């Protein structure tokens, strides 16, 4: 599989909670770096609002955490979700994916946010994920003007 095919296979597995395929496509030392203190982390209770700012290691997930998030927690936090892909570009082992995620949250609020992910792929496995998103827009959609709090228990 090409790097682009690997990443798109992961998105398909992610969308269907296919744990075996996700595990197969993620390298054992993969890391996922997301914006620190983002609303998703806070809503799951795995981040704090005060974590926001420059990466300090509090926002890096390892392989086990990535699989757990993709298979167990993502579908519970984002119900009735749709992903609209805008651009998928590959340059050697690096794949850029721009998409919009829309969903319904456990608190009944609607969520729609634009994301850009950068994936590094080696030998048919994802070795690194870097996530970029509208953190402020996501925060307002998840929590509104209420104080941030856990929306679901992280499994």
**Of 130, 127, 87, which Cα lies nearest the Cα of 6?**
127
Residues in the chain: 155
Q: Does residue 150 form part of some domain? A: no
Full DSSP string of 66-103: HHHIIIIIHHHHSEEEEEEEEEEEEETTEEEEEEEEEE
Q: Does residue 97 form part of some domain? A: yes
Q: pLDDT, tens digit, for every residue of 8-20?
A: 999 999 899 999 9
Q: Does residue 77 form part of some domain? A: yes
CB neighbours of residue 61 within 10 Å: 20
Please, are residues 133 and 114 in contact by the beta-carbon 8 Å criterion? yes
Q: pLDDT, tens digit, for every residue of 42-73?
A: 788 777 777 766 666 667 889 999 999 999 99
pLDDT at 126: 98
User: Residue 94 to residues 19, 50, 75, 120, 141: CA-CA distances in angstroms?
Assistant: 23, 31, 26, 5, 30
Q: Does residue 155 form part of some domain? A: no
Q: Does residue 151 form part of some domain? A: no
The whole-angstrom separation of Cα 26 and Cα 35 is 20
Q: Does residue 87 form part of some domain? A: yes
Facing residues of 33 across strands?
A: 60, 130
pLDDT at 36: 80
Domain total of the chain: 1
CATH number of the domain enclosing 14: 3.10.450.50
Q: Does residue 148 form part of some domain? A: no
Show Cβ contacts of residue 151 under 8 Å, excluding neighbours closer than 6 positions: 43, 44, 77, 105, 106, 107, 142
Containing domain of residue 29, as a range?
3-143
pLDDT at 55: 60
Q: Does residue 7 form part of some domain? A: yes
pTM of the predicted model as reported, rounded to 2 decimal places: 0.89
> What are the average pLDDT values for consecutive 10-residue runs of the chain, which has 155 residues?
97 94 98 85 75 66 92 93 96 98 94 97 97 88 82 78
């Amino acid at each position: 599989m090409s790097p682009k095919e690997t990443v798109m296979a992961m998105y398909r597995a992610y969308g269907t909670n296919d744990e075996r395929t996700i595990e197969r496509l993620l390298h054992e030392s993969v890391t996922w770096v997301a914006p620190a203190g983002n609303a998703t982390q806070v809503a799951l209770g795995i981040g704090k609002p005060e974590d926001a700012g420059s990466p300090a290691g509090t926002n890096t997930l390892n392989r086990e955490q990535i699989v757990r998030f993709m298979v167990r927690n993502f579908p519970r936090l984002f119900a009735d979700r749709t992903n609209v892909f805008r651009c998928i570009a590959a340059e050697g082992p690096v794949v850029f994916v721009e998409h919009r995620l829309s969903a319904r949250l456990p608190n009944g609020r609607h969520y729609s946010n634009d994301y850009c992910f950068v994936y590094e792929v080696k030998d048919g496995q994802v070795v690194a994920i870097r996530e970029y998103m509208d953190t402020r827009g996501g925060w307002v959609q998840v929590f509104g003007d209420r104080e941030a709090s856990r929306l679901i228990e992280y499994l």
